[in-house]
């Protein structure tokens, strides 16, 4: 008998992680159910990823949409509970650190349904980040914790989580990157012509701490406009940033190219060929590390310290002097070959599939 696995996805960074595990379980002929909470719902934030990544149409769409954290989390919980009761999975897999992750885990935990958390154990130690709260709570109540890097097990042990629940499997997002990089390279040829740029940088910003307040976002934008005079910067704008700042963004220096959110292949292609990436995204810190592209992170901390120690990532916080300095360093230096990161080898999802289909964890 195969393990009936239900995946919960909700927001953009979940899709590339779930895709890798879904493919690995499909290869083992597992019965799978895909639930989309609808946390992200715009075509550019959701549908394009399903199409590109070969994820099937969701079996269930909860259509929760946007709202305050409490509203969104509560809506996911109340709409997910009847679904999981009706579908009776053997295990539910949740991904990353978004509101859908913690909401689904809480529901399953109370119903006595096994939960596996993919990308467990990452910590920024910054509880002002909503994602940090989601990580802490999810890991406390999930049954199987799949960790992407060696630091994660230490964090979980420090929080009193039993070691036998923890499985170091590697990074599933890198599985997807490895699978799709050849296609992204093809896409880049057309994209480069479309953009008309030989040399460029890539910028993404969506954290509330960076984009919600004018005293942070406006000076940040001015520095980016200044840097874009030295190297054109492509800035695909997240809906959160766009809704808040559309008028100001429409007046940007044209060297800072404001464009709509990118599809997965386009984003990967630009990350690979950018001279430098400036971001506040967790996933892009990892992807640039794998690709060997210099990454400057506009945050004071990261839940992915391995990207600092073994990768190409540098934290610049909101120190504009440091940002300018690091930016110039990135342009001046040749790309260095990256250090290999343990188990970022394209096989993390196979390891998860093996554990999901063979383990019988008692709750
Ligand atoms: C969410 C995650 C964050 C993740 C990010 C990736 C949480 C707490 N946050 O943040 O961890 O890094 O996704 O993108 O789970 N909106 C749209 N269309 C959409 C989705 C959102 O217009 O498809 C707008 C809405 O105005 C919404 C705002 O963007 O209020 C923010 O969306 P939300 O899902 O609340 O948070 P993100 O900032 O996307």
Tokens of 179: 């699978």
The residues facing 278 across adjacent strands are 203, 296
206 given a catalytic annotation: yes
Half-sphere exposure (Cβ direction) of 138: Cα atoms closer than 13 Å: 34
pLDDT band at 334; cut points 50, 70, 90: confident
Distance 8 CA to ligand 1 centre (A): 16
- Using 50, 70 and 90 to split pLDDT, how confident is the model at 338? confident
Bridge partners of 113, per DSSP, are none
Distance CA 348, CA 286 (A): 14
What's the chain's average pLDDT? 96
Return d(Cα 65, Cα 46) in angstroms, integer: 12
Q: Measured in angstroms, how far is the CA atom of residue 12 from the centroid of ligand 1?
A: 8
pLDDT band at 349 (very low <50, low <70, confident <90, very high): very high
Within 6 A (CB) of ligand 1 lie 11-13, 39-42, 45, 66, 97-99, 130-131, 206, 238-240, 243
Coil, strand or helix at 320: helix
Contact criterion met (CB below 8 Å) for 32 and 21? no
Contact of 300 with 126, CB cutoff 8 Å = yes
Among 42, 43, 46, 66, the mutation site with the greatest number of ligand 1 atoms within 8 A of its Cβ is 66
DSSP state letter for 95: E
Closest residue CA from atom 3 of ligand 1: 98
In whole angstroms, give the CA distance from residue 93 to residue 114: 9
Q: How far apart are CA 11 and CA 14, in angstroms?
A: 6
- Asked whether the beta carbons of 9 and 100 are under 8 A apart, the reply is yes
266 has a pLDDT exceeding 80: yes
Residue 362 has pLDDT above 90, yes or no: no
């Amino acid at each position: 008998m195969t393990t009936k696995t239900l995946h919960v996805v909700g927001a953009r960074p979940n899709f590339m992680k779930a895709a890798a595990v879904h493919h690995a379980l499909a290869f083992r002929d597992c019965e799978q159910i895909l639930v989309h909470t609808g946390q992200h719902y715009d075509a550019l934030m959701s549908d394009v990823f399903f199409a590109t990544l070969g994820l099937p149409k969701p079996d269930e769409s909860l259509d929760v949409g946007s709202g305050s954290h409490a509203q969104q989390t509560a809506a996911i919980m109340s709409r997910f509970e009847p679904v999981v009761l009706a579908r009776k999975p053997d295990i539910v897999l949740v991904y990353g650190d978004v509101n859908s992750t913690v909401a689904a885990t809480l529901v399953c935990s109370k119903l006595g349904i096994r939960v596996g958390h993919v990308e467990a154990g990452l910590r920024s130690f910054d509880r002002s980040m909503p994602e940090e709260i989601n990580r802490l709570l999810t890991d406390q109540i999930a049954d199987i914790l799949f960790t992407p890097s060696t630091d994660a097990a230490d964090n979980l042990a420090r929080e009193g989580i039993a070691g036998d629940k923890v499985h170091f499997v590697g990074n599933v997002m890198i599985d997807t990157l490895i699978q799709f990089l050849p296609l992204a390279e093809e896409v880049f040829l057309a994209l480069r012509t479309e953009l008309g740029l030989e040399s460029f940088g890539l910028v993404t910003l969506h954290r509330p701490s960076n984009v919600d307040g004018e005293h942070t976002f406006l000076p940040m934008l001015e520095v980016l406009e200044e840097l874009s005079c030295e190297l054109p910067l492509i800035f695909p704008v997240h809906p959160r940033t766009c809704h808040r700042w559309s008028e100001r963004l429409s007046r940007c220096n044209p060297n800072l190219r404001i464009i709509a959110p990118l599809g997965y292949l386009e984003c990967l292609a630009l990350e690979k060929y950018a001279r430098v990436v400036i971001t506040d995204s967790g996933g892009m810190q990892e992807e640039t590390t794998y690709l060997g592209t210099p990454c400057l992170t506009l945050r004071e901390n990261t839940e992915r310290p391995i990207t600092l120690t073994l990768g190409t990532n540098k934290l610049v916080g909101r120190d504009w002097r440091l940002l300018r300095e690091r930016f110039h360093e990135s342009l001046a230096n040749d790309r260095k070959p990256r250090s290999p990161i343990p188990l970022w080898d394209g096989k993390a999802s196979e390891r998860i599939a093996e554990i999901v289909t063979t383990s019988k964890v008692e709750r």
